[in-house]
């Protein structure tokens, strides 16, 4: 796969991986809202996203 198709496939996998986890008690877009940025749920979601990106991009 090359170009746009590869990007779309990677995007779909990333979305699938990130949506597997639910953060109980968190509202929609909780990571994007400044007042909730320092919550444990937001920190865990950000760490999860960073981990997925590192594995996908093969970096450490």
Domain boundaries, the chain: 3-57
What span, in angstroms and rounded, lies between the C-alpha atoms of 14 and 20? Answer: 10
User: pTM for this structure?
Assistant: 0.57
pLDDT tens track for 4-60: 777 777 777 777 666 667 777 777 777 788 888 888 888 888 888 888 788 878 865
C-alpha gyration radius of the chain: 14
Q: Residue 42 is encoded by which pair of tokens?
A: 């937001």
């Amino acid at each position: 796969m090359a170009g746009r198709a590869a990007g779309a496939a990677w995007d779909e996998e990333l979305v699938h991986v990130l949506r597997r986890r639910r953060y109980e008690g968190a509202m929609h877009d909780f990571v994007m809202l400044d007042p909730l940025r320092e919550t444990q749920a937001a920190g865990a979601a950000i760490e999860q996203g960073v981990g997925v990106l590192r594995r996908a991009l093969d970096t450490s």
